[in-house]
Amino acid sequence: MRIRVNGEPRDVPDGCTVAALVELCELRPEQVAVELNQRLVRRADRANVTLSEGDELELVTLVGGG
């Protein structure tokens, strides 16, 4: 199914969870945070949240800043 991740379209398997998406993107789960449709998905909940067609996700990390 088609979702959007960080503003870009992406295809993921049906039934894909947030946790699975983080793994698909080859990210370290403890270094990122996830928003689904502008709401935080807590790290502990990622495996329980299944994505739907058209979902918009933000995958963020911490970078240098003042």
Site for other proteins, rule CB under 8 A: 5-8, 25-28, 30-35, 38, 40, 42-43, 58-66
User: What pairing do the DSSP bridges indicate for beta strands 8-11 and 32-36?
Assistant: unpaired
Name the residue nearer to other proteins (CB basis): 53 or 62. Answer: 62
The tokens 């080859």 sit on which residue?
26
Taking the CB of residue 43, how many other CB atoms lie within 10 A of it?
15
Name the residue nearer to other proteins (CB basis): 15 or 64. Answer: 64
Q: How far is the CB of 51 from other proteins (least distance, A)?
A: 16
The tokens 């996700």 sit on which residue?
57
